Structure 1
Amino acid sequence: MPEWVTHRFMAPVYALLISFGAALVLGAVMAPGDAPAEVTVRLVAKQANEKGRYDDVPAAELRGSAVHVSRGGEDAELAVGEQGAVTLSRAAGPVTVCVALPQGWTGPRTARGEASGTPCWSIPAGSREVSIQVVKGV
């Protein structure tokens, strides 16, 4: 065996390598599940200003708006809660969320739901939090 392998200054290097290997093994064993326990969909309320840009507005008007959730043949009816958020249970696949917005609100760049004027969004599988922009007065 070469002398450098047993040299006293190599002990910290060996300790570092062993610690790194242990961290890799523990990280692989204790990794969280693929899907989160809950998915939070947050409606970000905006309003057009005179310069053609969007300003943040409180989401209080959106509270209580009906939310229709479709996922893999299962449907659920929820409502927008405080601060414009909706919390969904775990989903293994993609989820479609449709929100019945109050009069004067729109969801730009969205698909239309079954109900007239109801915007829908597709939420990717494995998402933990998704922000969706809705606009007042456009």
Structure 2
Amino acid sequence: MLLLVATQFVGWGEEGMFRGIGVTVLRRHGLTEGRVALWSSVVFGAVHLTNVVGHGISALPQAVMVSLAGYFFYLIRRVSRGNVANSILHGLFDFSLLSGSAILVDQQAYAGTLLPVLVYPVLAIILFVKRRDIEPAE
């Protein structure tokens, strides 16, 4: 239960920072919605490069995957017209990753942790194919 609450705090905090403040600032500076989605996601991934301190070079692919997740969270924010749904889902996503990998007593791999990671390539393909649909119709 404590892990669920903690990951919700992370979800709400990161979404408030990157899809709340970040998106608002980028829009105010006149970026198109496509660029807002892209740059808020790239910055989100870049911030996670600080994980290089504890995890070494494995922080690089993590930053790329986090950027893809950030784009997904941006789309949820855009469709839901707020920051609630993406914040909750972000926390639940973190919970699913951590509950299957970081807290195992015997520290053995858990197959259920692989599923959220496999979502990333699928998400990348969908975002690449549908990237132009993010701009509002003229």
The structure with the greater share of residues assigned to helix is 2
TM-score, shorter chain, exceeding 0.5: no
The structure with the greater share of residues assigned to strand is 1
Structure 1-normalised TM-score?
A: 0.25
Structure 2-normalised TM-score?
A: 0.25
Q: Which has the larger radius of gyration?
A: 1
